[in-house]
Amino acid sequence: MESHAQTVNNNRMNTVYYKTVEVNGLEIFYIEAGDKANPTLLLLHGFPSSSFMFRHLIRDLKDKYHLIAPTYPGFGLSSMPLIEKFDYNFDNLSVIIERFIDTLDIKKATFLMHDYGGPIGFRILMRRPELLECLIIQNANAYKEGLTESSQPLFDLWENPSVENRKKAAQLLTIDGTKFQYYEGASDSLKIEPSAIYTDQYFLDRPENKEIQLTLLYDYRHNVEVYDLWQKQLATIQPATLIIWGENDQFFSKNGALKYGEDIEDIEFHFYPTGHFPLEEFHTDIAQKIDNFLSRKLVR
């Protein structure tokens, strides 16, 4: 019969916790679940979301894994310093998340990277490849072949950050832009939780936040410039890699996903008939694919 102490400990391991930690003077919000003795998954969210995007996956996997999902400065419930007081670029965000990793004393983790999580995660792995156990890439692009015509407003912004081009790019930050990211390409929009959309939009609509997001959208051009460096790093370190991809993504195409197979030998692909946020429709199956993959690749 299980003792009271064992019951309390099991309940603690099965609980999802919502925490903050100070990193470089900023409050970084994060979600944590699972037993720390289990393999760690570091979940790096995309735009325009936060760690909230992993809410289903965390509950699906917490019995077998230790899950950590931080939210970047300027997003969700983390600090949102004004632009005049913080450099909103991908280099700086990656430094904050690297220091977050060290603050939580994470020595090894499987990185799951979605969208913006790619540029942040790849930068960390360029500096600290020893942190990586396995790699899970979910609609996070690292190849020019993956860019699509839907990103033309961003291409125009990168070429000329005029007032007119900034206004066009800012359409991505409206409720219509957020709905487009969630619904476009989805198989069944009724499976997409509206609270995810309106949660993202609530934080986008905060005073000063649209300027922050436009700054990051403009800085994204520097990611494209270093795609080749990330590709070379992947080819060098050869991580066991799982590709999870919504193949109807309007921003990052299936062609871009397949390109990872040219640089990584130990790679597994799973495509889903949905758009940019495959976890919204298929989190149960994705969780099973992740568990199957890590059960084979990780030495426990």
Residue 177 has φ and ψ, to the nearest 5°, of: -65, -40
Tell whether the model's pLDDT for residue 190 goes beyond 60: yes
Tell whether the model's pLDDT for residue 185 goes beyond 90: yes
Cα 297 to Cα 132: distance, rounded to the nearest angstrom: 12
Tell whether the model's pLDDT for residue 299 goes beyond 50: yes
Portion of the chain with pLDDT greater than 90, in percent: 94
Cα 124 to Cα 160: distance, rounded to the nearest angstrom: 29
The pLDDT of 272-285, averaged and rounded, is: 98
Task: Supply the DSSP symbol for 191.
Answer: G
The pLDDT of 278-297, averaged and rounded, is: 97
Beta bridge partners of 66: 40
Tell whether the model's pLDDT for residue 300 goes beyond 80: no
Question: What is residue 13's predicted lDDT score, i.e. its pLDDT?
Answer: 66
Cα 222 to Cα 158: distance, rounded to the nearest angstrom: 9
Query: Do the beta carbons of residue 205 and residue 199 sit within 8 Å?
Result: no
The pLDDT of 30-39, averaged and rounded, is: 97
The pLDDT of 45-49, averaged and rounded, is: 97
Question: What is residue 14's predicted lDDT score, i.e. its pLDDT?
Answer: 79
Structure tokens given for 100 = 């977050």
Query: 165-174, 208-217, 247-256, 291-300: which range is least confident on average?
Result: 291-300
Q: 119: closest CA among 209, 212, 227, 31? A: 227
Query: Do the beta carbons of residue 115 and residue 92 sit within 8 Å?
Result: no
Considering its fold, how many domains does the chain have in total? 1
Question: What is residue 6's predicted lDDT score, i.e. its pLDDT?
Answer: 44
- The DSSP annotation for 137-175 comes to EES---SGGGB-GGGHHHHHHHH---HHHHHHHGGGGSH
Residue 113 has φ and ψ, to the nearest 5°, of: -120, 125
Portion of the chain with pLDDT greater than 70, in percent: 95
Tell whether the model's pLDDT for residue 40 goes beyond 60: yes
Beta bridge partners of 69: 31
Cα 116 to Cα 139: distance, rounded to the nearest angstrom: 9
Question: What is residue 4's predicted lDDT score, i.e. its pLDDT?
Answer: 40
Q: Which residues contact 254 (CB under 8 A, 6 or more apart)?
A: 245, 247, 271
Structure tokens given for 232 = 């070379």
Q: 12: closest CA among 40, 32, 39? A: 32
Tell whether the model's pLDDT for residue 1 goes beyond 70: no
Question: What is residue 5's predicted lDDT score, i.e. its pLDDT?
Answer: 43
The pLDDT of 183-212, averaged and rounded, is: 97
Structure tokens given for 144 = 């020019």
The residues carrying an active-site annotation are 276
What's the mean pLDDT when you consider all of the chain?
Answer: 95
Q: 251: closest CA among 157, 177, 162? A: 177
Structure tokens given for 105 = 């004393």
Q: Residue 117 is part of which domain span?
A: 4-297
The pLDDT of 189-206, averaged and rounded, is: 97
- Give residue-wise pLDDT tens across range 92-111: 999 999 999 999 999 999 99
Tell whether the model's pLDDT for residue 170 goes beyond 60: yes
- Give residue-wise pLDDT tens across range 105-142: 999 999 999 999 999 999 999 999 999 999 999 999 99
Which H/E stretch holds residue 211?
helix 209-219
Query: Do the beta carbons of residue 64 and residue 34 sit within 8 Å?
Result: yes
Tell whether the model's pLDDT for residue 12 goes beyond 70: no
Q: Which residues contact 22 (CB under 8 A, 6 or more apart)?
A: 28
Q: In what order do the strands lie in the sheet with 132-138?
A: 16-23, 26-33, 66-70, 40-44, 109-114, 132-138, 241-246, 267-272
Cα 180 to Cα 174: distance, rounded to the nearest angstrom: 10
Question: What is residue 10's predicted lDDT score, i.e. its pLDDT?
Answer: 52
Tell whether the model's pLDDT for residue 91 goes beyond 50: yes
Q: What is the CATH number of the domain that holds 257?
A: 3.40.50.1820
Tell whether the model's pLDDT for residue 171 goes beyond 70: yes
The pLDDT of 279-291, averaged and rounded, is: 98
- Give residue-wise pLDDT tens across range 241-268: 999 999 999 999 999 999 999 999 999 9
